[in-house]
Structure 1
Amino acid sequence: MDIPHDLIVLERAAEEQRARLAGLEGEEFDAQHRAWREAVQAAQAAFADHATVSGQTTEGVERAVKRAVRQSEEDPAE
């Protein structure tokens, strides 16, 4: 499956927002949690749109995007 770059960017942004939750508490945590949820919702909406246009399932698109993100983060020297 050919994964559009914008879907990869959205998934990475959601993961970055999730990672920023570490160590936060109280209002800071709540604010960051909202930012993460918004990023996830944006990514999921884009996955659904791409699935509709390409005739695939949303779940299949999401799996493919997550796999592409993981593979792009792997160090080929390891």
Structure 2
Amino acid sequence: MADIDFPEDLIKLERTAWAEIQAGSLTVPTALAVHEGIGAFVRQAKEAGTVVDRYAVEMGLKKRVRHAEPEAA
């Protein structure tokens, strides 16, 4: 799968959700915001003529946030 260029606002939403998950306090509004953000991203990509799979987008976003490589010093 090719790397997906996620918008920063979607990455921020997923980071918030991941922090809440780790703290055991994920809220419905946070989960819904991520869900809706992914949906909007997929719709925008399709409107731009790019074929994207929602599942691949969601998994790619989770991988980007949850398994990020450490930044070089």
Asked if these proteins are the same fold (TM beyond 0.5), I'd say yes
> Where does structure 1 lack aligned partners over 5 or more consecutive residues?
22-31
4+ runs deviating over 3 angstroms: 74-77
- Count, aligned residues: 64
> Where does structure 2 lack aligned partners over 5 or more consecutive residues?
47-51
**Percent pairwise identity:** 27
SS in 1 for 2:66: helix
Greater CA drift, 55-64 or 10-19: 55-64
2:13 paired with 1:10: yes
Q: Give the root-mean-square deviation of aligned CA atoms.
A: 2.0
2:51 paired with 1:62: no
Structure of larger gyration radius:
1
The structure that is helix-richer by fraction is: 1
Normalising by structure 2, report the TM-score. Answer: 0.70
